[in-house]
Amino acid sequence: MKRRYWHAWQNVLRNRRRSLVTIIIAAVGCAAVQLAGGFAQFSYDVLIEGTIQDSGHIIVATRDYFVRNEESPMQYGIPDASAMRERLSQHSHVRWVLPHINFSGLISNGDKSLIFAGTGVDPEIETEVRGPYLTWESGSFGKSVDGRPFVLLGSELARSLRAHVGSSLTLLSTTTDGTMNAVDVEVSGIASTGWREVDQRFIYVSLSTAQRLLATDRVSSFSVFLDDNAVTGEVLKEMSGGDQAHVYKPWWEQAFYYHSVRQLYNRIFGLLGSIIAALVFFSVSNTLAMAVVERTREIGTLRALGAEPGEVVLQFIREGLLIGLLGALLGTLLASFLSALLPYLGLQMPPAPGRTVGYALKVSISPLLYFIADFSVVLLCVLAAWFASHKATRKPIIDALGHV
Amino acid sequence: MHAEAISLKGIVKHYCVGDETVMALRGVDLAVPVGAFVAIRGPSGSGKSTLLNICGLIDGFDDGHYQLAGVNVSCLSEKERTHIRRQQVGFVFQSYNLMPVMTVAENVEYPLLLSAIPVQERRQRVAEMLSLVGLSKQANRRPDRLSGGQRQRVAIARALIKSPTLVIADEPTANLDTTTAGQIIDLMKDLGARRGATFLIATHDDRMAAHCDQVCSIVDGMLQ
């Protein structure tokens, strides 16, 4: 067996330049698939992280919260929030339980009033969990200096209101019983989420401010953050077991943007991968087809000596296999090297549509993806070898022997 | 053992060239005893190569009967013909047709490899055969490092290594100088006698014909 591969290798070396070009094409194809797939994987990871940072691993709310529209604010909110938060926090995998109150209304600087989409949060934990993911323009999540209720403004909203840290604003909203209520707040910070549309509307206030404005003691939902994304399903099962009053949704059921991007990328990179696969296939089959034509008399001789067509095809398949293995090996080395190098080059991707900030160009090294790409390249080379040789080995022996 | 290595009766073969049908063989009858050294002579296009190809089971025929070592091989499938070629037929080509990536020993060994002979026996038989053709020292050389005569010796060794019933040699001395051609003829005859192989040789060479037990002339697809 070893000798047969040695002969196959010698045959590969018979036309070194041609074989080298084919191996390089296989290697570049393999590396391209690994890099493109690695970039897609990195993007998915970033989107997953972003989604989890936004919603937590698990969102807990009342059953009606997800399916019905509220007729009055906090109609489907969670009553007795402290007990619920306490219960959720007891699970060993839970790191944080963040209560949220979602509300909307008008924000005014006295001269101008704009619509806002507000969230009531626990400022201390929110600063720890979400703070690092916001681009701070000024101030912080913290309390205002004189103890007045504070507000964190989206950068675009702050610009529209000509507000800065320390500015006084008024929030107007409808209470749970349908009357209008207002709260004066002081701007404690201005930040950007990276989404222009969100930055034009969002505000964060403390839970107590939101509850005072809405005249409620309820919260809209809890975002549960775990210590490991891998245990989400397991924790979800344990938490939801026996609790009929609430719905527990994992992050992936709320990750609409992630799913759309993934679908889009899968199509784009799938098409790219197919084109690369076709290039590798035709390149290798072209090389081996030329080798087959050049060695037609050899094929005739082997057949005359008693070799079955399948045995002759196997000889070419071994050559295709060696080309594929070398291509896959070189491609993997190239992709690994470039993936490791990229973070040091500091290359930036432009902002995605709708976003205001770009992100660093990085490529994940996924062993599974590398294996699939390597296996595909080797398989393509083997198929190309079969494709190039199977017809020639069935040519009449006297025609093959008479080939010039 | 059967008395006749090959027995052909009424072999007809035609080719279609465009719209025309060319009769290559017109009812050839030929019987060759085991161990005979037979030359087939004839001008170009007379059908001698076609006859050899049919005898070597690398080409079919349209009508007639052919027995190889007493076995009717007229209506075999391609797979069965391949199997018989592997076991019973050796070939010596005018241009040697050695595998360039294999060494001399590997070229000679190849037919045994196809027959799945155990490695120890293969090595022993190859060494023995290379010694008989005088190429023991060149065993590990590639064919491109050998002279024309040496290459033809390798081809003869390859043809005889499996002790075939029939060896087909198509113009085996055409590419060799007179002295080397003489040595090759002597070698084939000597080894053929030792191995009990029947040689069927297509040739233009009078010296070759002079060494043969039987000389058949073929003209326009008919044996004279």
- Mean pLDDT over A93-102 rounds to 92
pLDDT at A143: 63
* Number of compact structural domains in chain A: 2
The token duo for A388 is 């190039």
Q: What is the rounded CA–CA span in Å between residue A396 and residue B204?
A: 26
For chain A, list residues whose CB is within 8 angstroms of any CB belonging to chain B. Answer: 3, 7, 10-11, 14, 297-298, 300-308, 311, 396-398, 401
- Mean pLDDT over A346-352 rounds to 84
**How many Cβ atoms from other residues are within 10 Å of residue B134's Cβ?**
13
Partners of residue B216 on adjacent β-strands = B40
Query: Does residue A232 form part of some domain?
Result: no
**Domain stops at, among A219, A240, A269:** A219
Residue A293 · residue A15 · CB < 8 Å = no
pLDDT at A379: 95
Partners of residue B28 on adjacent β-strands = B11
Cβ contacts (< 8 Å) between A301 and chain B: which residues?
A: 91, 93, 97, 99
A216: pLDDT strictly greater than 80: yes
Residues A363 and A286 in one domain: yes
∠ CA A387-A390-A391, rounded to 5°: 100
The model's pLDDT over B84-142, given as tens digits with 9 standing for 90+, comes to 999 999 999 988 999 999 999 999 999 999 998 999 999 999 999 999 999 999 999 99
A70: pLDDT strictly greater than 80: no
Alpha carbon distances (Å) from A137 to A141, A259, A369: 12, 30, 39
Task: Return the closest-CA partner of residue B198 out of B45, B64, B40.
Answer: B40
- Mean pLDDT over B200-221 rounds to 86
Could you say which of B86, B99, B101 has the minimum Cβ distance to residue A306?
A: B86
Backbone CA torsion sign across A353, A357, A361, A366: negative
The model's pLDDT over A174-199, given as tens digits with 9 standing for 90+, comes to 998 889 999 999 999 999 988 888 99
* Longest Cα separation, chain A: 101
The token duo for A192 is 């950007």
Query: Does residue A237 form part of some domain?
Result: no
Residues A272 and A148 in one domain: no
Q: Could you tell me which chain B residue has the CA closest to the CA of A400? A: B58
Residues A316 and A203 in one domain: no
A144: pLDDT strictly greater than 60: no
Residues A305 and A211 in one domain: no
Residue A284 · residue A384 · CB < 8 Å = yes
Range of the domain at A390: 2-50+258-401
Q: Do B83 and A306 touch (CB under 8 A)?
A: yes
Nearest chain A Cα distance for residue B106, angstroms: 10
Q: Quick one: pLDDT band at residue B1, thresholds 50, 70, 90?
A: low
The token duo for A66 is 């997800």
The model's pLDDT over B5-32, given as tens digits with 9 standing for 90+, comes to 899 999 999 988 888 888 899 999 999 9
Q: Do B158 and A305 touch (CB under 8 A)?
A: yes
Residues A87 and A193 in one domain: yes
* Longest Cα separation, chain B: 54
Residues A388 and A288 in one domain: yes
Residue A121 · residue A207 · CB < 8 Å = yes
Q: Do B111 and A306 touch (CB under 8 A)?
A: yes
Residues A147 and A90 in one domain: yes
The model's pLDDT over A277-302, given as tens digits with 9 standing for 90+, comes to 999 899 888 988 898 999 999 999 99
Highest mean pLDDT of the ranges A63-77, A220-234, A338-352, A390-404: A220-234
Could you say which of B59, B95, B102 has the minimum Cβ distance to residue A398?
A: B59
Query: Does residue A364 form part of some domain?
Result: yes
A394: pLDDT strictly greater than 90: no
Q: Which three-class secondary structure string do you get for chain A?
A: CHHHHHHHHHHHHHCHHHHHHHHHHHHHHHHHHHHHHHHHHHHHHHHHHHHHHHHCCEEEEEHHHCCCCCCCCCCCCECCHHHHHHHHHCCCCEEEEEEEEEEEEEEECCCCEEEEEEEEECHHHHHHHCHHHCEEEEECCCCCCCCCCEEEEEHHHHHHHCCCCCCEEEEEEECCCCCEEEEEEEEEEEEECCEHHHHCCEEEEEHHHHHHHHCCCCECEEEEEECCHHHHHHHHHHHHCCCCCEEEEEHHHCCHHHHHHHHHHHHHHHHHHHHHHHHHHHHHHHHHHHHHHHCHHHHHHHHHCCCCHHHHHHHHHHHHHHHHHHHHHHHHHHHHHHHHHHHHHCCEECCCCCECCCEECCCCCCHHHHHHHHHHHHHHHHHHHHHHHCCHHHCCHHHHHCCC
Residues A31 and A99 in one domain: no
**How many Cβ atoms from other residues are within 10 Å of residue A90's Cβ?**
8
- Mean pLDDT over A77-99 rounds to 90
**How many Cβ atoms from other residues are within 10 Å of residue B156's Cβ?**
25
Query: Does residue A63 form part of some domain?
Result: no
Q: CB contact, 8 Å: B215 with chain A? A: no
Nearest chain A Cα distance for residue B163, angstroms: 13
Task: Return the closest-CA partner of residue A327 out of A7, A36, A2, A21.
Answer: A21
Residue B33 three-state SS: strand
Q: Do A297 and B97 touch (CB under 8 A)?
A: yes
Residues A365 and A303 in one domain: yes
Query: Does residue A178 form part of some domain?
Result: yes
% of chain A exceeding 70 in pLDDT: 99
- Mean pLDDT over A374-393 rounds to 92
Backbone CA torsion sign across A148, A154, A159, A161: negative
Nearest chain B Cα distance for residue A320, angstroms: 17
A145: pLDDT strictly greater than 70: no
Residues A214 and A312 in one domain: no
Half-sphere exposure (Cβ direction) of A70: Cα atoms closer than 13 Å: 19
Residue B6 three-state SS: strand
A169: pLDDT strictly greater than 90: yes
pLDDT at A152: 93
Q: CB contact, 8 Å: B158 with chain A? A: yes
A146: pLDDT strictly greater than 70: no
Task: Return the closest-CA partner of residue B127 out of B105, B154, B153, B150.
Answer: B105
| Total CB pairs under 8 A between chain A and B | 57
Query: Does residue A323 form part of some domain?
Result: yes
Q: Which of B83, B101, B119, B151 to mutate to test the interface with A (most CBs of A within 10 A)?
A: B101
Residues A265 and A302 in one domain: yes
Residue B14 · residue B23 · CB < 8 Å = yes
The model's pLDDT over B133-185, given as tens digits with 9 standing for 90+, comes to 999 999 999 999 999 999 999 999 999 999 999 999 998 888 888 888 888 88
Q: Which amino acid is at A247?
A: V
The model's pLDDT over B57-87, given as tens digits with 9 standing for 90+, comes to 999 999 999 999 889 998 889 999 999 999 9
Could you say which of A7, A11, A304 has the minimum Cβ distance to residue B58?
A: A304
What letter would DSSP give residue B75?
Answer: T
Residue B14 · residue B182 · CB < 8 Å = no
Cβ contacts (< 8 Å) between A7 and chain B: which residues?
A: 99, 101-102, 106
Task: Return the closest-CA partner of residue A220 out of A56, A41, A34, A81.
Answer: A81
Task: Return the closest-CA partner of residue A298 out of B27, B143, B194.
Answer: B143
Residues A337 and A385 in one domain: yes
